[in-house]
Structure 1
Amino acid sequence: MAAPRIREACDLVDEALQYESSWRRAEEHRAMFGEGTAYYGASVGAIRATLRDTLRRFPDLTHDEITALSSLLWEVDVYERRLAAVILLQSHLDVLVVTDLTRLEGFLRSSGVDELGLALARDVIRPLLHSLADRDRSRADTVIARWTESEDLLLRRAAQTAAYDS
């Protein structure tokens, strides 16, 4: 269970994304990415601004709080919430550690939209791999190697994308 302040931060993000929504953009996203996910229709700019504003209200979040907030955002199958989770993690790469690959794997498996998996692999997992050294890098390479052998197409694609230029 997330701390009350992290739940509050998630609720603020969700409310702002719904406020910034556009049924027209939601329909465009549905046409582009498919039916399996819900769409608010908020722009990427609105998502970034929402996160910036929310993080100003909750400064100095720890690793555990960042990852908990990303999980709360991800747990509801709404494209904009999940993209907010990716952007949140991308903006806090400095706190991520090798063991976060387990959480990221769960995100990949449940992403529902190929674009989210690609963004996660390209903008979070690849830079995380580049930041690791020695034993942590070896552990990460083992995880990525397992993903390349997975029956899950999204995991195989993520492994290929994340390992690019590794």
Structure 2
Amino acid sequence: MWVTQTYLGKVEPDAKIFVYYLFEDYNSTQGEFTERVQSRLEEMGITYESNVSLLMPNPRYAARIEAEVRGIEKLWWSLQGKLPGVFVSTSPLSAFDIEKGNYYFASFHDTDPTSAAEVIRELQRLIDNQLAHDFKSAKPEQKNKLLQRLYNAIEAKPGVFGFAIDLKKLTKKH
């Protein structure tokens, strides 16, 4: 999902990771670099679908976005002199708490294409590891849903051994 007008609004609700591309719009070198790196980041957005919310600023709204990020003062000051870069968090900026330490920042400061490619590869590894961790630690809801559907489909009425299974209820996804 791409949110261009604001970073702090409601973003992908089911995302497990939030990735924000940050740059200084008044710096022409960073603007040109952003255009080159954006397509690679868009490919990542397609790969991870709704698990990762990848947000890139629309230059028309740069002042508003800057004001929102500036509102998280410790974050704002920690980014000074390190942009452009990619900020990764397990929570959206609207719920972000720098004290919890659940974030990562990778700088494209030198705007070198080779180092940018390495940063993107590292970002992919980080995202893959986080998603794998989330998957391993997730509760087995899928099995429970199947068992719940099976339970709901069983009816006590004439059938084999006094029970029947309503196949429509069994295959219906809720």
- Per the shorter chain, which TM-score range? under 0.3
**Structure number having the greater strand percentage:** 2
For the pair shown, the structure with the greater C-alpha radius of gyration is: 2
**Larger RCO: 1 or 2 (CA < 8 Å, sep 6+):** 2
Task: Give the number of the structure whose residues are more often helix, by fraction.
Answer: 1
